[in-house]
Amino acid sequence: MPEDLQEIIRKIGEKIPGCKYVSLVGYDGITVVQHIIEANFDVTLYDAEVSSIMLTSKEVKGSLNLGTEKELIWLTQNSFFIIHPIGDDFFIYCCLKSTGSNPGVARIELNKAKEVISKIIYSGQ
């Protein structure tokens, strides 16, 4: 199973122009798998911090009765993050360069991959 997930994550990262890395992370902040293309920082630390954002987002969504969360997009001066929840326990996201990347391709690839990853992760349930 981890080999399958690693291969899926690798392929996503290689398809997206301007991708720095792709990670599959638990809401507990623990990295399941990641594929790093170009990052001069500790990606695992970013995974943990993004999980904090996702937990907060999940809480706000519940408090405001906003329905199912589909995607979170976060643009900073240095990076473009596209985050997709997978079930109640995981999320997949990519970090793109803030310029010269292709967020549209990233959104499509993450959306396709989350279906496959969900089947792998939750197949025993």
Cβ atoms of 92 and 22 closer than 8 Å = yes
Name the pLDDT band for 123 (thresholds 50, 70, 90).
Answer: confident
Domains and CATH numbers, the chain: 2-121 (3.30.450.30)
In angstroms, the first-to-last Cα distance of the chain is 15
Q: Residue 124 — pLDDT band, cuts 50, 70, 90?
A: low
pTM of the predicted model as reported, rounded to 2 decimal places: 0.91
Mean pLDDT of 89-102: 94
Taking 90 as the threshold, does the pLDDT of residue 40 lie above it? no
The answer for residues whose C-beta is within 8 angstroms of residue 25's C-beta and 6 or more apart is: 31, 32, 47, 50, 51, 90, 91, 92, 93
What's residue 45's pLDDT? Answer: 96
Structure tokens at 50: 């993004």
Whole-angstrom Cα distance, residue 69 to residue 49? 19
